[in-house]
């Protein structure tokens, strides 16, 4: 099972949050994400990791974009996802210069996903850990994910799974032998 131990201390967390905010500011000024100088950052920020960056404005979601697979250094993933959350989330218009200083940022660093093994939907539901598991559900060429933070809005495993199926573009009652689910944890800070 993925670890829930904190891997990033206060200095690394501050550096990542500052990098996310700087990338949004860079996007406002130049239309592109900030490209961080990895040489000037703590070593752990150069390791490949997958992240999500969530933006809130006045307590409401204002953008959330992330990656599920570690394909680039942590600092680059945070900078790229912060820019994308601010300017490329299709659910929202781009963040304005007036909104940027008021944004609340949250960074979620994902553990590597682990395949879950189950014999039925009931078996899968029994294995879920509310408040801990993030899930990636895949079937029929469709995929959706919920971060562990979504449990605060959908605390019942059945509701969590039904909404995740919907997010993946599948019917609520969908079940097949080809359905796969992976679980991950996050270290989130903001």
Predicted confidence (pLDDT) at residue 115 exceeds the cutoff of 50: yes
**Mean pLDDT, range 154-166, rounded to an integer:** 97
Q: Calculate the average pLDDT of the chain.
A: 94
Parallel, antiparallel, or unpaired for β 180-184 and 134-139?
antiparallel
Q: Are 46 and 38 in contact (CB under 8 A)?
A: yes
Half-sphere exposure of 27 (CA within 13 A, CB side): 22
User: pLDDT tens-digit profile of 24-69?
Assistant: 999 999 999 999 998 888 889 999 999 999 999 999 999 999 999 9
What band does 4 get if pLDDT is binned at 50, 70 and 90? very low
pTM for the complete prediction? 0.88
Please state, for a pLDDT cut of 90, what percent of the chain lies above it.
91
- What confidence score (pLDDT) does residue 43 get? 87
- What confidence score (pLDDT) does residue 42 get? 86
Half-sphere exposure of 54 (CA within 13 A, CB side): 17
Q: Which domains does the chain have, with CATH numbers?
A: 10-110 (3.30.700.20), 114-189 (3.30.1490.150)
Q: Which two tokens stand for residue 138?
A: 């895949």
User: pLDDT tens-digit profile of 74-112?
Assistant: 999 999 999 999 999 999 999 999 999 999 999 999 999
DSSP annotation string for the chain: ----S----HHHHHHHHHHHHHHHHHHHHHSS-----GGGS-GGGGSB-EEEEEEEETTEEEEEEE-SS--SBHHHHHHHHHHHHHHT-TTSPPPPTTTGGG-EEEEEEEPPPEE---SSHHHHHHH--TTT-EEEEEETTEEEEE-GGGGGT--SHHHHHHHHHHHTT--TT---TT-EEEEE-EEEE-
- What confidence score (pLDDT) does residue 84 get? 98
What band does 5 get if pLDDT is binned at 50, 70 and 90? low
């Amino acid at each position: 099972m993925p670890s829930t131990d904190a891997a990033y201390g206060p200095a690394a967390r501050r550096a990542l949050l500052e990098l996310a905010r700087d990338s949004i500011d860079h996007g406002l000024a130049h239309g592109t994400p900030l490209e961080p100088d990895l040489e000037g950052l703590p070593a752990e920020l150069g390791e490949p990791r997958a992240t999500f960056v969530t933006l809130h404005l006045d307590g409401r979601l204002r953008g959330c974009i992330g990656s599920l697979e570690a394909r680039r250094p942590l600092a680059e993933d945070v900078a790229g996802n912060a820019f994308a959350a601010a300017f490329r989330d299709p659910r929202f218009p781009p963040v304005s210069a007036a909104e940027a200083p008021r944004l609340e940022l949250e960074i979620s660093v994902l553990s590597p996903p682990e395949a879950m093994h189950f014999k039925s939907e009931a078996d899968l539901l029994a294995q879920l850990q509310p408040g801990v598991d993030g899930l990636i559900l895949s079937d029929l060429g469709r995929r959706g994910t919920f971060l562990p933070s979504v449990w605060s809005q959908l605390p019942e495993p059945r509701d969590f799974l039904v909404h995740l199926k919907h997010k993946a573009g599948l019917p609520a009652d969908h079940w097949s032998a080809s359905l796969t689910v992976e679980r991950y944890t996050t270290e989130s800070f903001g």
